[in-house]
Amino acid sequence: MSQSRIPGFYELPMAERRIRIADFARTTPDELAAALDFGGIDPAAADNIVENVIGTYALPFGIALNFQVNAVDRLVPMVVEEPSVIAAASNAARMVRRGGGFLAEQPEALMIGQIEVHDVPDAVRAAAAVDGAREELLRRAVEAAPGLVPYGGGPRGLEIRDLGGGYVVVHVLVDCCDAMGANMVNTVAEALGPRIAELTGGSLGLRILTNLADRRRVRVSCRVPAAALVGRDRRTGQGGPDGAAERGVEISAAIETASRFAEADPYRAATHNKGIMNGVDAVAIATGNDWRAIEAGAHAFAARSGRYRPLSIWRRDGDALVGTLEMPMAVGIVGGTLRVHPAARVALKILAANSARDLAFALAAAGLASNLAAVRALATEGINRGHMALHARSVAVTVGASGREVDALVDRLVHGGVITLDAATEALAAIRDGR
């Protein structure tokens, strides 16, 4: 299997799903089971990662389907507890696939280490002194992180910023290759700190990376044919050619209007961006990356103009809907949790991410797909209808339905419009009595 398009995947038993995924990822179901069963990590290993461990906490590990990024099919692993996120991203990726998939780029991949000095007597002279010592400082930076150079990485430049009030900040730009790079960047900043304080005549302050990694931005776009936005009813299989083009144009217009709302109102933009992060965070967690750092960078980037704005924009273009997303994406495929968490390692194998750039593209595509799914639902039938079936499934399992009973009970609950434990208990009894 070499395609991320797997019709009927959700209907397969878990064992069969693992066989399909193992085939795609060139691994075995046994390796998947060893990495994913019982939460993916044992308490002994967890005890070596964080402090005061008393156990582990598991979340569902699922696969988003249908993704095609830069003409390469990707199965996208997601760890998330919220119903509908994986299904919605898969459905949106299927729509995007009909328009050629996602296109992604990352013009540069530099992390920023900040070296802050305060009580600087003359900021202009301080900046000139640092600029004059640029070659010396970069040489010291290379010496502080020699392991990067053989892999084509290392320090790339310096930026000097006068914040006023006697504060001067020097940014050291570092290419961390396939690592997220926090520890390496901090090491470089620590090494340069004393010399920069000497050059500026100020008092040395903080030396640490910034999570506003705007020199490591990723851009992803997609073009969705209007007819693809209509979709099909998963239960009946109905929907499609008849009136699809006209209905698709209506949906495109509604999505563009919703996008413009987010551009005009920070209150809406916050929720718009949350929909993006539903996808981004789920992939980051699955692959052992620091989702908190990604969140911090995303929201800071959204507010860089002084007004909080959406990270993605949707516009109609002829008979298609075009979406674009740009955001910082500091991720890695080596180091950190990846070394000790089997599930994170197998997630990268499933994704077939051979570089940090591959991973960044997948996260951004998952974010744009999740955003499309959410805005489409809001602009058409409303968000709750999209959640009903998955909520009903959780209720069905809670009241004791199993096997084929689950689908039958979900069908009754959704069509009845009342999804409660009492209604589910009564409906399950009726199903078992043949009523």
> Which residues are the active-site residues?
82, 274, 290, 387
**Number of helical (H) and strand (E) elements in the chain, helices listed first:** 15, 10
Specify whether the CB–CB gap between 117 and 204 falls below 8 A. yes
Which distant-in-sequence residues (6+ apart) come within 8 Å of 327 by Cβ? 217, 218, 276, 280, 297, 298, 301, 302, 311, 364, 367
Sole residue written with tokens 């050619």: 241
Strand, helix or coil for residue 59: coil
CA distances to 134, 155, 174, 176, 373 from 159, rounded to whole Å, are 10, 12, 12, 17, 40
DSSP string, 172-239: EEEE-TTB--HHHHHHHHHHHHHHHHHHHTSEEEEEEE-S--TTSEEEEEEEEEGGGGT---TTT---
Specify whether the CB–CB gap between 343 and 224 falls below 8 A. no
User: What secondary structure letter does DSSP report for 334?
Assistant: B
One-letter amino acid at 369 equals A
